[in-house]
Amino acid sequence: MESLSVSTNRFTLDLYKKLNETSKGQNIFFSPWSIATALAMVHLGAKGDTATQMAEVLHFNQTAREEGSSETTRPSPARPKKRKMDPEHEGGENIHSGFKKLLSDINKRRSTYLLKSANRLYEEKTYPLLPKFLQLITSYYNAKPQPVNFKRAAEQVRVQINSWVENKTERKIQSLLPAGSLHSRTVLVLVNAIYFKGKWEKKFLEKNTSEMPFRISKTKTKPVQMMFLKDKFFVFHENTMKIRIIELPYVENELSMFVVLPDDISDNTTGLELVERELTYEKLAEWTKSANMMKAEVDLYLPKLKVEENYDLKSPLSSMGIQNAFDPGQADFTGMSMKKDLFISQVIHKAFVEVNEEDKFFVFHENTMKIRIIELPYVENELSMFVVLPDDISDNTTGLELVERELTYEKLAEWTKSANMMKAEVDLYLPKLKVEENYDLKSPLSSMGIQNAFDPGQADFTGMSMKKDLFISQVIHKAFVEVNEEVQQEIAVICHASNVLSLKNAQDAHNGYQSLLHEINDPNTKYILRTANRLYGEKTFEFLPSFLESSEKSYHAGLEQMDFVQAWEDSRKLINGWVEERTEGKIQNLLAEGILNSLTRLVLVNAIYFKGNWEEKFNKESTSERAFHINKNETRPVQMMFKEANFNMTYIGDLQTKILELPYVGNEVSMIILLPDAIQDGSTGLERLERELTCEKLMDWIHPKMMDSTTVNVSLPRFKLEEHYRLNPILISMGMPDAFDLGKADFSGISPGKELVLSEVVHKSFVEVNEEGTEAAAATAALIVEGCEMGVPVFEFTADHPFVFFIRHNKTGSILFCGRFCSP
């Protein structure tokens, strides 16, 4: 791969100089990797002088020459070629093998940046291409042949190719092939697409960005948004050409952007003329060697830029030496087809680059409920936190009243759909928080409709036992969550049912829980998410084998025999100990003293625990004390975290509520926050949202298609909550009174008798958001760095005039993108 990198880097500078001849004073941006890959696929089918010319221009012949020579022999129609580079030759085979290895390395899945390259071959379905060529191009370049109908549907094929490119480049490259570029005589189109998205290792802060003049020449300026960052970077100064070079690494230093900046501008030039004229691969390689660059403290000024360029490369490539390939009378592509009528008609290249301070957040704003939603993804975007925030607070409300009253599953699902959330820059202030809550769910669940299960006279749990005396006495739930700028979030939740808990006519639900348990407890994740179930049964009580078997199969809830009759207090402590162990000590004393007694027959316990890192980290330095609006008139100080990044966000106009998704590492889990726009009167601002919220609406709002990725300034408070609920009255009021009624409870699915009844449903929960652990680690790291870097020189780097830049794959040294910024 090293020889391939040398070849492509030489080609990079050759093509840059050629494009510069017709682009004086204009921006330049192209991907030499993409162009070289497309031409290499063509070279795979080239023969004779056609192959030789392509090999010379692409520097494929450099592998057979002494390293260090900067001279290249250009072919011309008047002189014979020195060597052949047919694919069958060893040199050609090594080059194509190098592309295969580098393609594999580029497309490796990574969590810190996105880099992918793809190739596709579109062939006229009636044209006889050689099987060997198709086999080689698939083997080396993974360019799967796509038969199409150029003869009768050239325009439809053009749209199809453009769509494929758009998809592979995350919609950044659109309309690669212009109308009319394909026709009925087109036989073959070879396409390469490359896409890169990375995060700066050392991030720019938007608050440090300001308007400054960019010097286009000595006498002409144009205003730009100039980013600023003071930090330590590797730099190099070249005195002869009077240029300075800085390396700006992306996260984990696998790729870097290098910026080449002249010291100053003379007369009406851009200041780049000398370096563009004299620059060679050897010089650039020498200047950017690690051994030659020094680490210095730099005042770095770099303009935000967005450049999109289109090139028809037929003329530049012809003048560089690839001539026969474009000539119908001389082109030799008999490595592709036995027919001799093939030639290159066009080489079209389109490139896009954007440089800014930070990634953006997906956000959504709902005008009716006046709330905003932001998605905060965790690493790898497998999980996210969504924050729903009211726009404002009216009087003594929390600002959440409306959204809490009106929120439904459908609305939330709609708001948080990817299609509905937009990616925007966000000033994010988020409080550190830790919350632990306990709930007795008997009353809420009863009022929701689970009534018979709590009624001893009506409960039917004969699926657990032949006895018909089982009913739910309690449903206890305890949950814990912690959010902090350590990008760490811990959530522990317990759901406990004393005596019995059952779902009627819900085999599909049980099967669903079985599948979900398997997914939740997957050990191959970058976060901790696990749930556990346990049955604690009175050792003298008869339970139906079918109930025990189903509990084990669907919920992995094994039965542990207990002596509730003689030692209920010891049993309580044992259950609490199991819960505490399963939730990493966050849920303690789930079962209070006196909740168990000698009549207890069965305790069903569920514990769930989550700990994840934010996908987009909060910096502790950005956390400050700010007012949290409890209602329109009352505030309370909180430690407010802040983050500006890209999040999924949507806005529910009817409820005037924003929905924000804050993903955790890997984006498999997210926090979703619903935030009303404002607080009215003495409410919290959530009343309407809470009243109207349904599961269907929520799922619709937060569906990926409904949310847009946008840059969001997220402010989220640190918080700690611990709650305990006795749910009996709630569950009864929700519609399940029978389970708590000894005369009506029917738990004959648990035991053959009818003496079981649901006595208590208790829930306890805890959540915390803070920076514990991060402060000590960050302080130690900062002290070490400062101690090692004492005395390094201060280096000012203000990119306020034209500069050259490129993005390099550090492992292989390959230049993936190359550009020049002259005109904001």
- Higher-pLDDT residue of 250 and 77 is 250
Residue 646: CB atoms within 10 A of its CB come to 24
Closest CA to 595 of 461, 493, 501, 497: 497
Among 242-256, 286-300, 732-746, 752-766, which is the least confidently predicted range? 752-766
Q: What is the CATH number of the domain that holds 49?
A: 3.30.497.10
pLDDT of residue 345: 85
Q: Which amino acid, 73?
A: T
Q: What percent of the chain has pLDDT over 70?
A: 75
Q: Say whether both 300 and 312 belong to one domain.
A: no
pLDDT above 90 (res 110): no
pLDDT above 90 (res 156): yes
pLDDT of residue 746: 80
Query: What phi and psi, each to the nearest 5 degrees, are found at residue 580?
Result: -60, -40
| CA separation, residue 637 to residues 621, 682, 767 (Å) | 18, 19, 19
Q: Are 727 and 453 in contact (CB under 8 A)?
A: no
pLDDT of residue 30: 87
Instruction: Answer yes or no: is 636 within a domain.
Output: no
Provide the whole-model pTM.
Answer: 0.49
pLDDT of residue 246: 93
Instruction: Answer yes or no: is 686 within a domain.
Output: no
The boundaries of the domain holding residue 342 are 2-108+113-198+308-355
Q: Say whether both 520 and 491 belong to one domain.
A: yes
- Higher-pLDDT residue of 337 and 111 is 337
pLDDT of residue 636: 79
Instruction: Answer yes or no: is 632 within a domain.
Output: no
Q: Say whether both 235 and 316 belong to one domain.
A: no
Q: What is the mean pLDDT of the chain?
A: 75
Q: Say whether both 193 and 221 belong to one domain.
A: no
287-290: list long-range contacts, CB under 8 Å, 24+ apart.
287/236, 287/238, 287/245, 288/236, 288/245, 288/247, 288/258, 288/808, 290/234
| Helix, strand, coil percentages for the chain (3-state, nearest 5) | 25, 35, 35
Q: Say whether both 57 and 186 belong to one domain.
A: yes
- Higher-pLDDT residue of 761 and 83 is 761
pLDDT above 80 (res 374): yes
- Higher-pLDDT residue of 127 and 434 is 127
Confidence band of 360 (pLDDT split at 50, 70, 90): low
Instruction: Answer yes or no: is 520 within a domain.
Output: yes
Q: Say whether both 339 and 471 belong to one domain.
A: no
Q: Say whether both 120 and 178 belong to one domain.
A: yes
pLDDT above 80 (res 773): no
- Higher-pLDDT residue of 679 and 585 is 585
pLDDT tens for each residue of 384-417: 788 888 877 776 777 777 877 888 888 888 888 8
pLDDT tens for each residue of 206-257: 888 999 999 888 888 889 999 999 988 999 988 888 889 999 998 878 889 9
pLDDT of residue 512: 52
Q: Say whether both 456 and 551 belong to one domain.
A: yes
Count: domains in the chain: 3
pLDDT of residue 56: 94
Confidence band of 525 (pLDDT split at 50, 70, 90): low
- Higher-pLDDT residue of 70 and 122 is 122
pLDDT of residue 786: 17
Q: What is the CATH number of the domain that holds 220?
A: 2.30.39.10
Closest CA to 659 of 691, 629, 621, 686: 686
pLDDT above 60 (res 490): no
pLDDT of residue 814: 53
Q: Say whether both 601 and 509 belong to one domain.
A: yes
Closest CA to 8 of 143, 98, 115: 98
- Put residue 487 in one of left, alpha, beta given phi > 0 → left and psi -120 to 50 → alpha: left
Instruction: Answer yes or no: is 504 within a domain.
Output: yes
pLDDT tens for each residue of 178-197: 998 899 998 888 888 888 77
Instruction: Answer yes or no: is 265 within a domain.
Output: yes
Instruction: Answer yes or no: is 343 within a domain.
Output: yes
pLDDT of residue 823: 53
Q: Say whether both 104 and 142 belong to one domain.
A: yes
Instruction: Answer yes or no: is 618 within a domain.
Output: no
pLDDT of residue 77: 36
Pairing of strands 635-652, 657-664: antiparallel
Among 125-139, 525-539, 584-598, 632-646, which is the least confidently predicted range? 525-539
Q: Say whether both 184 and 221 belong to one domain.
A: no
Q: Say whether both 342 and 296 belong to one domain.
A: no
